[in-house]
């Protein structure tokens, strides 16, 4: 499985490492903004069922649905990926940190995921290729759960968008 991780605030270069059964590729916002790097990532071959592309450290706020340009850069990347790989079907998953009520976070993440699917369909992606799920605070990446005192940076690690490959229909040749 390939796990791509986009770190919006990180000031690091792309790296590759082995972590269990996952090939870990860390991508910065600068990488996605660079046309050559972006093209290489979008045309990446070998995506398989269950692969996850993780884009993280978003600053979602209560007053805006999206935390700025970094989320749009990620959605542009996903759109390009689907245009070049039209056989892929994906799930857009949104995750929150644990601050606030769990039910509120669940609803908010679902609304955000649904809005991202809407953006992709407005941009021409077939709605049948897209599903969405709001995970809220159900799958935290660290120990920053309810009642635990954590830094803003630690909470930010949990706010993310994940794109999961949920189906790759076979290509039928005539």
| pLDDT score, position 129 | 95
- Lowest-confidence pick of 59-63, 126-130, 166-170: 59-63
Could you give the 3-state DSSP secondary structure of residue 131?
Answer: strand
Fold designation for 2-167: 60s Ribosomal Protein L30; Chain: A; (3.30.1330)
Q: What is the pLDDT of residues 90-99, one digit of tens each?
A: 999 999 999 9
**Per-domain boundaries in the chain:** 2-167
| pLDDT score, position 7 | 55
Report the chain's mean pLDDT, rounded to a whole number.
77
Distance between CA atoms of 21 and 118, rounded to whole angstroms?
A: 33
Q: What residues contact 121, with CB distance under 8 A and at least 6 apart?
A: 127, 130
State the pLDDT confidence band at 58, using cuts at 50, 70 and 90.
low
Distance between CA atoms of 140 and 152, rounded to whole angstroms?
A: 14
Over residues 41-61, the mean pLDDT reads 71
Most confident of 11-25, 67-81, 130-144: 130-144
């Amino acid at each position: 499985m390939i796990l791509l991780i986009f770190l919006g605030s990180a000031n690091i270069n792309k790296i590759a490492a082995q972590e269990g059964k996952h090939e870990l590729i860390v991508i910065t916002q600068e990488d996605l903004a660079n046309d050559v790097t972006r093209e290489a990532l979008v045309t990446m071959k070998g995506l398989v069922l269950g692969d996850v592309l993780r884009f993280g450290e978003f600053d979602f706020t209560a007053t805006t649905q999206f935390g700025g340009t970094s989320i749009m850069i990620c959605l542009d990347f996903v759109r390009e990926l689907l245009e070049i790989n039209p056989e892929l079907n994906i799930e857009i998953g949104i995750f929150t940190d644990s601050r606030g009520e769990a039910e509120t976070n669940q609803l908010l993440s679902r609304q955000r995921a649904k809005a991202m699917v809407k953006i992709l369909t407005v941009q021409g992606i077939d709605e049948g290729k897209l599903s969405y799920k709001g995970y809220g605070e159900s799958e935290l990446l660290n120990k920053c759960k309810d009642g635990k005192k954590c830094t803003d940076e630690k909470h930010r690690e949990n706010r993310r968008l994940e794109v999961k490959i949920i189906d790759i229909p076979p290509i039928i040749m005539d």
